[in-house]
């Protein structure tokens, strides 16, 4: 009996030790190193640039090491021709290991800027421009991106914001609110911000521009904000849009959205859109979200 009990205990321990393996991949300059470091700080056993052919062995060793509760590794374009085998290898290890694939990307302009700031060459070499290297890399990584459990566009994340986002997601905290929200104001006469995910037109609100004492002020001025808020349609709009966003945002989070840009537009981007953006940002923060506000067309004077 004691022998059987010992064997059963050993089997139970083996079943309990099922560490998670997180594989990070994506475009060069998208922040893979920052994500790996964030996971390492959370206690993940971390390895950078592991050859694809060694991933199955790494996964096996991880599963058989009781001291490792979770592991993370980066595999990317630096692997060269071996990267073409990754989809097959990943599908294989997923049959025996709890594995997640995170794909990081960013807008081309953001990646070009990052390479310019660091003055590092693109891994695909210097024989072509950075932009063309990024395009080539996107094409090569497309099959891997299609397999990802989570895709994160890091264009608007600072290093600290990206690490905070990963920390919140993998610590299991704020599961419904771990999304960065950018609230923007703009003027339709200058065009809609191209990176907007949601756009709301607030030109139906009374325009302070026609009141002489408000003409050269902005929606951040307390008197201007008070004037706009004095109309019942303003209060109702703010309430209804805030409630709509609080309803929508958890759904975006569950779909893997890492950030959302919500834009409010008026004629010139000086009064109404500014005031509304400030109010919506305040309400979203009050609901537990991380939100920043940007007034694209607002004059400097307040």
> What is the DSSP track for 129-149?
-HHHHHHHHHHHHHHHHTT-S
Closest CA to 185 of 275, 249, 101, 56: 275
Sign of CA dihedral 69, 74, 80, 85: positive
**Residue 196: enclosing H or E segment and its boundaries?**
none
Closest CA to 145 of 21, 259, 34, 24: 24
Output the pTM of the full model. 0.60
For residues 189 and 268, is the Cβ–Cβ distance under 8 A?
yes
pLDDT per residue as tens, the chain (302 positions): 444 444 444 444 444 446 789 999 999 999 999 999 999 988 899 999 889 999 999 988 887 788 888 899 999 998 888 899 999 999 989 888 889 999 999 999 999 999 888 778 888 876 678 899 999 999 999 999 999 999 999 998 888 888 888 887 787 544 466 688 999 999 999 999 998 999 999 999 999 999 999 999 999 999 999 999 999 999 999 999 999 999 999 888 777 677 899 999 999 999 999 999 999 999 999 999 989 999 999 987 55
Domain boundaries, the chain: 18-171, 180-295
CA distance 271 to 277: 10
Query: Which DSSP category does 97 fall into?
Result: S
- CATH for 18-171 is 3.40.50.300
CA distance 140 to 218: 47
Residue with tokens 């950075």: 130
| Backbone angle region of 179, left / alpha / beta, with phi > 0 → left and psi within -120 to 50 → alpha | beta
* Spacing of C-alpha 90 from chain mean position: 23
């Amino acid at each position: 009996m004691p022998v059987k009990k010992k064997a059963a205990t050993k089997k139970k321990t083996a079943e309990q030790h099922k560490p998670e393996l997180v594989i990070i991949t994506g475009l060069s300059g998208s922040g893979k190193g920052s994500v790996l470091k964030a996971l390492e700080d959370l206690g993940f056993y971390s390895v950078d640039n592991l050859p694809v052919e060694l991933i199955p062995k790494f996964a096996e060793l991880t599963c058989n090491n009781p001291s490792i509760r979770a592991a993370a590794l980066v595999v990317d374009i630096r692997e060269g021709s071996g990267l073409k085998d990754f989809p097959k290898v990943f599908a294989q290890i997923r049959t025996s290991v709890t594995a997640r694939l995170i794909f990081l990307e960013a807008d081309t302009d953001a990646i070009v800027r990052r390479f310019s700031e660091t003055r590092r060459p693109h891994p695909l070499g210097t024989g072509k421009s950075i932009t063309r290297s990024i395009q080539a890399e996107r094409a090569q990584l497309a099959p891997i991106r299609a397999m990802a459990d989570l895709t994160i566009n890091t264009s608007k994340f600072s290093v600290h914001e990206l690490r905070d986002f990963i920390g919140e997601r993998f610590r299991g905290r704020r599961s419904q609110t771990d999304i960065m929200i950018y609230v923007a104001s703009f003027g339709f006469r200058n065009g809609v911000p191209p990176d907007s995910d949601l756009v709301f037109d607030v030109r139906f609100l009374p325009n302070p521009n026609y009141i002489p004492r408000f003409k050269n002020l902005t929606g951040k001025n307390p008197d201007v904000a008070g004037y706009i808020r004095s109309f019942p349609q303003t209060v109702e709009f703010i309430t209804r849009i805030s409630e709509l966003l609080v309803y929508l945002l958890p759904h975006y989070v569950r779909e893997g959205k890492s950030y959302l840009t919500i834009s409010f537009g008026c004629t010139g981007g000086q009064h109404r859109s500014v005031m509304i953006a400030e109010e919506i940002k305040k309400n979203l923060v009050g609901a537990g979200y991380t939100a920043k506000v940007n007034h694209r067309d607002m004059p400097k004077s307040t």
